């Protein structure tokens, strides 16, 4: 659209003659159009931070942080897993040091003598090479021991990941339950508000007692407090979840807790888990078995100390004061003749430590069996409790339908009808957590059997 066209339109739409020059009118119109565009564009750019989404802004739809996404985010950003990761890296460095001991260590010594003995002539500078303290047999024992320590650190890291996933799963499910309870409490609060509004109108007409109205109003205030407590609890749980996965505490976390049970368990029901599976997959039991293996390696090393130690010597000397220059090479064995039976006592000590490691592993196996039986009993009883809770909800629903029919026929007053609806919502609220014992037991059972990540392919790492 050209400037002349805008000017002609402005003349036609003007209700009265203008005293401003046509050029001024066109400029004013163009300025108004430009200002309108700026008023539309600038708030959008400002709100988006120059095209970047504001993480503190809560969207009106479900977020993209479902349970598997939270786990994968925690594996990368959680500081609580950093310590075990560092421990694995340290053990890897120690293992490389043990491998390096298979090769001899060569030292170089350089000297520049400011003064020399009178009998020594020649250059004041010398360089010498030494190879000492080389024991390949001891290096092999160290490699074996550090290999076991590396395995222990890796299994410990996997166990911390498994425990962190279990803690995250329980927290995620509690947030899911809180969100459902908050929605139901808001429904109940709306019904109580409707009941209070009805009571206020009836009170003004003198149809009900003031005590009854105040009772209804006080119940409304109580429900508001309960709702506020649930919202505060939800905020605390979400803050704990942010801390657990390493998310920024000031940013909004767009959670998607729909069908949380399926997200967490991925069809795992625990019926196919036997105690033999737990014995073969439990990470704590694997750690204790590795510690028992480490004690066995150290016991073999204690026996090795009783044998003569091989020795290989190499040194290259040049320009030494009062000493003949040249190279020395020697092989032989070193043996400690008397140490007060210290090596014998060390063998006995290692035997006791190996025995204690075996006892610890057996005690842990018994503890796991008790926990396994306890969890299976919880799963066996949960179905009966769930049946009773569902029947209670069904009865409340049937009572609501019956009261509704009586209310429509005029046999039941409005407050009784609203009361039946409130009772129905209360039964729904009480039934929200009916699956919680079963879900928590399944999470613990999967953790005992190797971790939730073993049975949920979406969170495998």
Q: What is the domain-level CATH number for residue 283?
A: 1.20.1600.10
Query: Residue 459 has what DSSP assignment?
Result: G
Same domain flag for 149 and 274: yes
Whether residue 55 is contained in a domain is answered as no
**Whether residue 42 sits in one domain with residue 71:** no
Q: What is the DSSP string of 367-403?
A: HHHHHHHHHHHHHHHHHHHHHHHHHHHHHHHHHHHHH
Q: Are 227 and 186 in contact (CB under 8 A)?
A: yes
Number of domains present in the structure of the chain: 2
DSSP-based three-state secondary structure for 305: coil
Domain check: are 291 and 373 in the same one?
yes
pLDDT of residue 46: 35
Q: Do 34 and 157 belong to one domain? A: no
Residue 285 lies in a domain: yes
The values of phi and psi at residue 116, to 5°, are -125, 160
Residues 296 and 247 in one domain: yes
Task: Please check whether residue 60 lies inside any domain of the structure.
Answer: no
Asked whether residue 379 falls in the same domain as residue 410, the answer is yes
Edge-first strand order for the sheet with 309-317 is 106-112, 125-131, 309-317, 326-334
Same domain assignment for residues 284 and 409: yes
CA gap 301, 290 in Å, rounded: 17
Is the domain of 9 the same as that of 89? no
Q: Answer yes or no: is 348 within a domain.
A: no
In a domain, 286, yes or no: yes
H-helix or E-strand spanning residue 297: helix 283-304
Q: Please determine, for residue 1, whether its predicted confidence score (pLDDT) is greater than 80.
A: no
333 - beta bridge partners? 310
Q: What is the pLDDT of residue 181?
A: 94
User: Do 7 and 88 sit in the same domain of this protein?
Assistant: no
Whether residue 341 is contained in a domain is answered as no
- For residue range 385-435, what is the model confidence (pLDDT) as tens digits? 888 888 888 898 898 888 888 888 888 888 888 888 888 898 888 888 889
Residues 39 and 93 in one domain: no
Look at residue 324 and give its three-state secondary structure: coil
- According to DSSP, the β-strands at 326-334 and 106-112 are unpaired
Q: Which distant-in-sequence residues (6+ apart) come within 8 Å of 282 by Cβ?
A: 368, 448, 449, 450
Output the pTM of the full model: 0.75
- Cβ neighbour number for residue 176 with a 10 Å cutoff: 23
SS3 150: helix
Does residue 265 lie in a domain region? yes
> Tell me: the pLDDT tens digits for 42-80?
333 333 333 333 433 444 345 689 999 999 999 988 887
Are 284 and 164 contained in the same domain? yes
Is residue 8 pLDDT above 50, yes or no?
no
**Residue 423 covered by a domain:** yes
Same domain, 73 and 31: no
Digit-coded pLDDT (tens) for 79-97: 878 878 888 888 889 888 8
H helix runs in 305-341, sequence order = none
- Owning domain of residue 39: 3-48
pLDDT at residue 119, rounded to an integer = 56
**pLDDT recorded at residue 116:** 67
């Amino acid at each position: 659209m050209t400037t002349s066209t805008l000017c002609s339109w402005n003349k036609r739409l003007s209700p009265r003659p203008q005293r401003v020059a046509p050029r001024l009118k066109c400029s004013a119109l163009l300025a108004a159009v430009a200002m309108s565009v700026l008023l539309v564009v600038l708030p959008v750019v400002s709100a988006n931070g120059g095209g970047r989404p504001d993480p503190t802004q809560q969207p009106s739809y479900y977020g993209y942080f479902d349970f598997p996404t939270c786990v994968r985010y925690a594996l990368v950003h959680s500081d609580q897993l950093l310590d075990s990761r560092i421990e694995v890296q340290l053990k890897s460095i120690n293992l490389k040091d043990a491998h390096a001991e298979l090769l001899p260590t060569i030292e170089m010594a350089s000297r520049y003598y400011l003064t020399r003995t009178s009998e020594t002539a020649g250059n004041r500078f010398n360089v010498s090479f030494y190879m000492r303290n080389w024991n390949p047999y001891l290096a092999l024992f160290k490699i074996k021991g550090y290999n076991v320590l590396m395995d222990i650190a890796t299994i410990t890291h996997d166990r911390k990941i498994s425990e962190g996933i279990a803690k995250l799963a329980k927290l995620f499910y509690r947030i899911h339950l809180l969100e459902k309870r908050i929605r139901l409490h808001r429904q109940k609060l709306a019904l109580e508000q409707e009941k209070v509004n009805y009571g206020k109108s009836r009170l003004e007409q003198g149809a009900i007692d003031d005590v009854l109205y105040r009772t209804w109003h006080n119940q409304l205030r109580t429900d508001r407090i309960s709702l506020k407590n649930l919202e505060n609890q939800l905020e605390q749980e979400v803050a704990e979840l942010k801390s657990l996965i390493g998310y920024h505490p000031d940013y909004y976390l767009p959670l998607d807790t729909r069908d949380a049970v399926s997200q967490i368990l991925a069809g795992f029901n625990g019926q196919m888990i036997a105690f033999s599976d737990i014995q073969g997959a439990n990470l704590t039991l694997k750690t204790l078995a590795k510690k028992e293996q480490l004690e066995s390696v150290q016991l073999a090393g204690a026996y090795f100390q009783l044998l003569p130690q091989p020795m290989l010597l190499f040194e290259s000397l040049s320009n030494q004061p009062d000493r003949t220059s040249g190279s020395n090479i020697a092989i032989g064995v070193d043996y400690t003749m008397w140490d007060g039976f210290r090596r014998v006592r060390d063998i006995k000590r290692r035997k006791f430590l190996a025995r204690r490691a075996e006892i610890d592993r057996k005690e842990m196996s018994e503890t796991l069996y008790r926990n396994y039986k306890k969890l299976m009993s919880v799963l066996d009883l949960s179905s009966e409790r769930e049946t009773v809770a569902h029947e209670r909800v069904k009865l409340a629903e049937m009572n609501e339908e019956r009261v509704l029919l009586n209310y429509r026929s005029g046999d039941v007053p409005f407050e009784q009808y609203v009361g039946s609806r409130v009772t129905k919502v209360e039964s729904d609220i009480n039934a929200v957590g009916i699956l919680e014992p079963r879900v928590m037991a399944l999470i613990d059972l999967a953790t005992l059997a190797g971790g939730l990540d073993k049975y949920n392919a979406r969170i495998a790492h």
